[in-house]
Structure 1
Amino acid sequence: MDNSHRFEHFRTQVQPALESKLAEFQLLGIDSVTEKELWDFLIKKKWKKIKDEMKLYEIIQEILSVKASDYISFATIEEYKSTEFSFKDEDELKELLK
């Protein structure tokens, strides 16, 4: 079974649009986003449910329309999902819930 996204073959073609969006993020003070992280956002969030086949220009339009706030929200939720909380004892949990 192929685990790659169906737009993966467009990645090299849309790289200038990805770089442009990352440059925009940098102007807004968001310096830590990588091209891979932006691409993952697009695949997991924007293109999660695509009904029809999209054209190259539509994919580029989707990339350029990403809002910084949407990406930050997505990244925050993904970080919460990946973080495991462990408490050594019940007292730590009670302290947190005060």
Structure 2
Amino acid sequence: MRASHAYEQFRFEVQPALTSKLEEFTLLGYGQVKEKELWEYLIMKKWRKIEENKRISSIVEDIFSVRVGDYFSFATIEAFKGAEFVFDDENELRELLK
């Protein structure tokens, strides 16, 4: 398990912004995204470099600036990182690589 992120302390306060962003995703037809997944995106992508004395308003701004395309690009890459591809024979691999 990963150590707690520096901005984790703000999660309760910014929860309404997370909810609002998820509602926006739902309106755009992407209601399957969960709050935990959005938070992980923010931690792993937007907040990789931790800024000292980051204001809560800046954190909320980061949440509202998330675009659906950016989130799903990240989610797709993470899914591929975790996937294991097993091929029964070399022909299946060659067919995939055509």
**Pairing of 1:1-98 with structure 2 (within 5 A):** 3-98=3-98
Deviation of residue 91 (structure 1)? Answer: 2.0
Higher helix share: 2
Aligned length: 97
Instruction: Output the CA distance in 1 between the equivalents of 2:35 and 2:59.
Output: 15
* Amino acid across the alignment from 2:76: T
Unmatched tracts of structure 2, length 5 or more: none
- Whether the 8 Å contact between 2:22 and 2:34 is mirrored in structure 1 is yes
Deviation of residue 86 (structure 1)? Answer: 0.8
- Whether the 8 Å contact between 2:22 and 2:33 is mirrored in structure 1 is yes
Structure 1 segments, 4+ long, off by >6 Å, are none
Deviation of residue 41 (structure 1)? Answer: 0.2
Normalised to the residue count of structure 1, the TM-score between the two structures is: 0.92
Instruction: Output the CA distance in 2 between the equivalents of 1:97 and 1:75.
Output: 23
Instruction: Output the CA distance in 2 between the equivalents of 1:56 and 1:69.
Output: 24
Normalised to the residue count of structure 2, the TM-score between the two structures is: 0.92
Unmatched tracts of structure 1, length 5 or more: none
Instruction: Output the CA distance in 1 between the equivalents of 2:7 and 2:88.
Output: 44
Identity across the alignment (%): 57
Instruction: Output the CA distance in 1 between the equivalents of 2:78 and 2:85.
Output: 14
Task: Quote the RMSD (CA, aligned, Å).
Answer: 1.3
Deviation of residue 93 (structure 1)? Answer: 1.3
SS at match of 2:6: coil
Instruction: Output the CA distance in 2 between the equivalents of 1:31 and 1:57.
Output: 25
